[in-house]
Amino acid sequence: MKIGICNDHAGVEYKNGLVKHLQGKGIEVVNFGTDTPDSMDYADVAHPLAEAVVAGRVDLGIALCGTGNGMALCLNHHSGIRAGLAWSEEVGRLVKAHNNANVLVMPARFIPYEEAEKIVDKWLSEPFEGGRHQRRIDKIEG
């Protein structure tokens, strides 16, 4: 399992924590994000992560910015990307079970770090339910 992770300046600390957390589970992590607190534009890291997921260079992606919205807006421009915003463990479960999100997006400025770890763990372990949810996913790209 190889996961790509990206973040803007609002997500540096959460990214660093999650990289360690994922590596502790034996998951390989590719860092697409910024590593400094200097202000930068989320699009500059979101698009490379989306391209890596679509090309299969990484299996899944995680994206962090202040609200999560900037990352989600950029990522979902890419055909084949389902970037889902999650702010609680239960939403993390549903974003896999119902939406089969291949990129998990979290709002670093609006959730405690411990919640981010729980969301990631739930999103990774929860199976996609398929069935009516697959039918709905099939309609996303029109």
**Contact footprint for ligand RB5 (CB under 6 A):** 8, 10, 42, 65-67, 69-70
CA atoms lying within 13 Å on the CB side of residue 127:
3
What's the closest the beta carbon of residue 23 comes to ligand RB5, in angstroms?
A: 24
Selecting among 65, 74, 77, 78, the annotated active-site residue is 65
- Is 74 an active-site residue? no
SS3 46: helix
CB nearer to ligand RB5: give 115 or 126: 115
Quote the strand ranges of the chain, DSSP E.
Answer: 2-7, 28-31, 60-65, 83-85, 103-107
CB nearer to ligand RB5: give 39 or 79: 39
CB nearer to ligand RB5: give 5 or 100: 5
What's the closest the beta carbon of residue 32 comes to ligand RB5, in angstroms?
A: 15
Give the count of beta carbons closer than 10 Å to the beta carbon of residue 8: 25
Distance (Å, rounded) from C-alpha 67 to C-alpha 116? 13
- Is 77 an active-site residue? no
Question: How is residue 66 written in tokens?
Answer: 């202040």
Distance (Å, rounded) from C-alpha 113 to C-alpha 25? 17
What's the closest the beta carbon of residue 120 comes to ligand RB5, in angstroms?
A: 18
CB nearer to ligand RB5: give 42 or 123: 42
SS3 1: coil
Which residue type, as a one-letter code, is found at position 107? P
Residues designated as active site: 65, 98
